[in-house]
A and B are shown apart, each in its own frame.
Chain A
Amino acid sequence: MEQAILALLTIMIGVGGCVGYFWLSNIVLDKVIFPASGPMAGRNITRANAVRPWLFLLPAVLALGLYLAYPVFATFWLSLNRNEAGDLVFVGLDNYRQMLGEDKFWESLRNNMVWLIVVPAMSTAFGLLAAQLTDRIRWGNIAKSMIFMPMAISFVGASVIWKLIYDTREAGQTQIGILNAIWLQFEGGAGSVLILRVLPVLILLAFAAAVAFVIWGQVKAMSEGGLVARGLRAVGVVIGLWLVYLGVTGSVGAATAQLPYGEPQFWLQIPFWNNIFLMAVLIWLQTGFAMVILSAALRGVPEDTIEAAIIDGANPFQIFFQIKVPQIMGTIVVVWTTITITVLKVFDIVRAMTGGQQETQVLANYMYDKLFVAVDWGVGSASAMVILLLVTPILIWNVYSARKEMR
């Protein structure tokens, strides 16, 4: 009860303080400092109007400066120092050197890279699929609401939800995790081969083929554009080739893997795959976001382009991939980068489900461990700087496109 009163009081003080500040400061400016009367009335009004924007901005600028801008520099400074019994000792790049020497750091970086590829790609793909499909049916809005719903669920809540799905009991006991219950239905018969071998192989090959198709388009377009564009294309082609390689080797692996049928699996303890199971949680959470935004973009595609395609005899798939998707490419990029930022900060899911054990560490949780468990501010701040470094390209791109838009 005490706390509720405290909270109410804070709301009143906060709101009252804000309103009071804005109101009073405006009065002081207009009546006391630059009164709009007397011999210099005209000049005073001009001056007051020059100062006023800053009155409006002051609280926001102060808060932003103190709570976001200053910490960037302070963290950079901390990453160059070591905290010895409360005193900061300048050590140069030692913290970074120490961090680079740790296996756990490389593990988190590696895992983060997988997260960065898988989660935005899958969320955007599912979101696009859901957006395109739900727009065509009458109960589409209800379906959208259902897929969008996880957006409201906390990462921690989602972790509990998925922990129940991944739950494992010893062999012979009743499985209460739905994933194991489904897994135990497979016994190595024809159905198992179809679903656990043929299907993944087909999906992986389709993925590789799709990437190869995009690469081919880029290679054909190589002769156009400036040096920078060509450079970016070349980088894209290399990454694409690597993805094709992964897809093909992955499909070979899926075709030949020995699957332990009939044994309940500890999903969150299988190396590498446990990362994928953690990512599923975030994909589940983020798909709704992608769907909502892409759905709006799809509706904004001009009708006449679609009509023209239909008249030219395009089938629904061609209309989708060759008419609609290219026109909403900008939005797809925005969705992709937004989810990328979320992925870089992912912390709660790993913390709640595995705690970063069993090779599931990610950068944000590594940083938390360093800062608050090992109380090593130097290395912790250094890893925070790594996160900032990874975000920087998106930051620059956002600022660049925002400026372009304002002109």
Chain B
Amino acid sequence: MENIAGKKPALTWAVHLSVGLLVLLWVIPTIGLLVSSFRSGDQIVSSGWWNALFTQEQQLSPIRVEGAEVPRDGMFVIEGRLFGDGGTTVSAWGTSSREPAAFAPGAVAELDDGQTVAVQADGSYVLTSPVSTEGTRLPRIFTTAATPPEFSLNNYNTVLFSPMAGQSIFQAFMNTATVAIPATIIPILIAAFAAYALAWMDFPGRALLIATIVGLLVVPLQLALIPLLQIHNAVGIGKGYLGIWLAHTGFGLPLAIYLLRNYMAGLPRDIIENARVDGATDFQIFVKIILPLSFPALASFAIFQFLWTWNDLLVALVFLGTGNDEQVLTGNIVNLMGSRGGDWEILSASAFVSIAVPLVVFFAMQKYLVRGLLAGSVK
């Protein structure tokens, strides 16, 4: 019955087409950055990334002739190649910026002072001069050439291991991991115990407490910044890892308790009552029965909290210092956008380093993420 539209071929095609369009629209932005991160700065600036996948013909930036001159037949000759062995094919060339495509490959250009230049289609050139060119400025060669797609890992190498100024992305990566991993693990335990109490123990004020937690779910953490910074300064934590771990723990707890309580409340009552009758204490029931059974909910929350702490900018800006050993990926990238906003080769590779881990987590544990979303919102 679900496939009522499937019986009409035209409508089915429309559905396929619209989904395809939607997917394309959603994927293209990421692909654009991904493709750019494998291109050199020159390539990024000289053509759109969507052209990078095909051989493209375009005017390249001029290259000055250089090399050792060799005397031959009374002339001084310099031979060389304009490009490496990348398969670039010259379709036209010239020696002045006014006529950058004056000659065909193989033609010989006569320059001033009796010099001649010849450029072949494969980019090799021969310059001859009646007098020694030593100490003089050699001519530049302008080319229009077809370049095959070319990708390299140079950008990643640069941003990870040889930073230009300040801190490497690798360091920031380590800092982010240092923030995110403890900030994911610690709240889970605290929340699990609290959720068990709220789900399976009877005590006065339980309903009120649950209502409070539901309310705290939506309190914007913006409100917490200054008061907490004051407390951290007062007790001597100041800005640093301890502070941000505590802050992320506090901010993550409402969702953690809410998710886990909902899940635990849905566990079968018989198991728990049987265990009680058999003389198990609450602590034993929790550790031996509830925790293992709640694994899916624990995994869902762990993913949420990990994505959130890894991707966070605001909390890191406020509770961490700005030194090399503390700045996280997001903060680093925002700085890059400000100071080197035009250097797409740096920016795109850095951004992809920061995106990579969450994407891996996402695709590996999508099932739990979806389950957690459903538990957190629909209920």
User: Could you tell me if A293 and B253 are in contact, using CB atoms closer than 8 angstroms?
Assistant: no
Interface-located stretch among A105-113, A162-170, A227-235: A162-170
| Segment touching B, from A10-18, A193-201, A237-245, A251-259 | A10-18
Decide if A68 touches B219 in the complex (CB within 8 Å).
Answer: yes
Q: Whose C-beta in chain A lies nearest to the C-beta of B350?
A: A160
A147:B33 contact, CB within 8 angstroms: no
* Alpha-carbon distance A140/B46, docked complex (angstroms): 37
Asked if A406 and B23 make an inter-chain contact with CB atoms under 8 angstroms apart, the answer reads no
A348 and B373 in contact (CB under 8 A), knowing A63-B250, A402-B214?
A: no
Asked if B269 CB lies within 8 Å of chain A CBs, one says: no
Given contacts A56-B194, A56-B197, A388-B223, contact A3 B16 (CB under 8 A): no
**How many whole Å from B359's CB to the nearest CB in chain A?**
5
* Docked complex Cα distance between A74 and B15 (Å): 53
B307 CB within 8 Å of chain A: yes
Given A68-B251, A284-B29, answer yes or no on A345-B216 (Cβ-Cβ < 8 Å). Answer: no
Pairwise interchain contact B178-A6, C-beta atoms closer than 8 A: yes
Q: Are B220 and A345 in contact (CB under 8 A)?
A: yes
> Measured between C-beta atoms, what is the minimum distance from A379 to chain B in Å?
12
In angstroms, Cα B28 to Cα A141, docked, is: 18
In the bound complex, what is the Cα–Cα distance between A121 and B254 (angstroms)? 26
Query: B362, A152: Cβ atoms under 8 Å?
Result: yes
Is A122 on the interface with B (CB-CB < 8 A)?
no
Q: Is the interface of B mostly helix, strand, loop or mixed?
A: helix
Residues of B within 8 A of A61 (CB): 194, 209
In the complex, A136 Cα to B33 Cα: how many Å? Answer: 31
Complex Cα gap A177–B209 (Å):
51
By the criterion CB–CB under 8 Å, are A395 and B215 in contact?
Answer: yes
Binary B-proximity of A48-87 (CB < 8 A = 1, otherwise 0): 0110111011011101101111111011001000000000
Contact with B along A90-131 (1 / 0, CB 8 A): 000000000000000000000000000000000000100110
A139 partner residues in chain B, CB cutoff 8 A: 19
Find out whether the CB atom of A395 lies under 8 angstroms from the CB atom of B178: no
State in angstroms the CA–CA spacing of A72 and B212 once bound together.
Answer: 13
Q: Given A26-B283, A161-B351, A175-B48, A391 and B219 touching (CB < 8 A)?
A: yes
In the bound assembly, the distance between CA atoms of A296 and B197 in angstroms comes to 30
Set A157, A338, A347: member contacting B351, Cβ < 8 A = A157
A288 / chain B contacts, CB cutoff of 8 Å? 26
Cβ of A145 < 8 Å from any Cβ of B? yes
Tell me whether A391 and B220 are in contact in the complex, defined as CB-CB below 8 angstroms, given that A57-B194, A307-B1 are known contacts: yes
Q: Which of B48, B219, B250 contacts A176 (CB 8 A)?
A: B48
Contact: A4 with B178, CB < 8 Å?
A: yes
Size bracket of the A interface: 35 or more
Chain A CB within 8 A of B152 CB: no
A22 touches B333 (CB 8 A): no
Q: Which residues of A contact B377 (CB under 8 A)?
A: 293, 331, 334-335, 338
Instruction: Decide if B337 touches A4 in the complex (CB within 8 Å).
Output: no
Instruction: Tell me if A368 is interfacial: C-beta within 8 Å of chain B.
Output: yes
Q: For B174, what are the chain A residues with a Cβ–Cβ distance below 8 Å?
A: 3-4
Q: Does A155 contact B (CB under 8 A)?
A: yes
Which of chain A's residues have a CB closer than 8 A to the CB of B374? Answer: 292-293, 296
User: How distant is the Cα of A146 from the Cα of B197 in the complex, in angstroms?
Assistant: 39
The answer to whether B226 touches A75 (Cβ under 8 A) is: yes
| Interface residues of chain A: helix, strand, loop or mixed (majority) | helix
> Is A246 in contact with chain B by the CB < 8 A criterion?
no
Interface flags, B17-47, vs A, CB<8A=1, else 0: 0111011001111101100100000001111
Residues of A within 8 A of B361 (CB): 152
**Contact partner of A347 among B19, B231, B314, CB < 8 A?**
B314
Closest to A30 in B: B281
Across the interface, A22 reaches (CB within 8 A) one of B193, B370, B373, namely B193
Please report the C-alpha to C-alpha distance between residue A94 and residue B27 in the assembled complex, in whole angstroms. 49
Residue from the list B30, B46, B334 in contact with A161, Cβ < 8 A: B30
Q: In chain B between 226 and 279, which residues have their CB closer than 8 angstroms to a CB of chain A? A: 226-228, 230-231, 241-242, 245-247, 249-251, 253-254, 257
The answer to whether B191 touches A160, judged by C-beta atoms less than 8 angstroms apart, is no
B225 and A22: CB pair below 8 A? Answer: no
Contact B250 A149 (CB under 8 A): no
A403 and B251 contacting across the interface, CB-CB below 8 Å: no
Known: A154-B358, A387-B223. A136 touches B2 (CB 8 A): yes
CB under 8 Å from chain A, chain B span 297-344: 307, 310-314, 317-318, 325, 329-330, 333-334, 337-338, 341, 344
Q: Can you spell out 27 A-B residue pairs with CB atoms less than 8 angstroms apart?
A: A10-B182, A10-B242, A15-B189, A30-B281, A54-B197, A60-B190, A60-B194, A64-B250, A64-B253, A69-B212, A136-B6, A137-B16, A143-B20, A145-B363, A146-B23, A150-B30, A156-B313, A156-B351, A157-B330, A164-B348, A174-B58, A348-B334, A384-B223, A387-B220, A391-B218, A391-B219, A406-B210
* Further contacts, 15 of them, CB under 8 A, given A11-B182, A18-B193, A56-B193: A15-B186, A18-B186, A68-B250, A145-B366, A148-B366, A154-B313, A155-B313, A160-B337, A164-B29, A164-B33, A293-B373, A306-B2, A316-B11, A345-B221, A402-B211
Interface residues of A (CB under 8 A from B): 3-4, 6-7, 10-11, 14-15, 18-19, 22-23, 26, 30, 49-50, 52-54, 56-57, 59-61, 63-64, 66-72, 74-75, 78, 126, 129-130, 133-137, 139-140, 143, 145-157, 159-165, 167, 174-178, 181, 284, 287-289, 292-293, 296-297, 303, 306-307, 310, 316, 319, 331, 334-335, 338, 341, 344-345, 347-348, 351-353, 355, 364, 367-368, 371-372, 377, 380-381, 384-385, 387-388, 391, 394-395, 398-399, 402-403, 405-406
Please provide the 9 A-B residue pairs with the shortest distance between their CB atoms, ordered closest to farther.
A67-B250, A154-B311, A60-B194, A152-B362, A74-B227, A56-B197, A71-B224, A160-B351, A152-B358
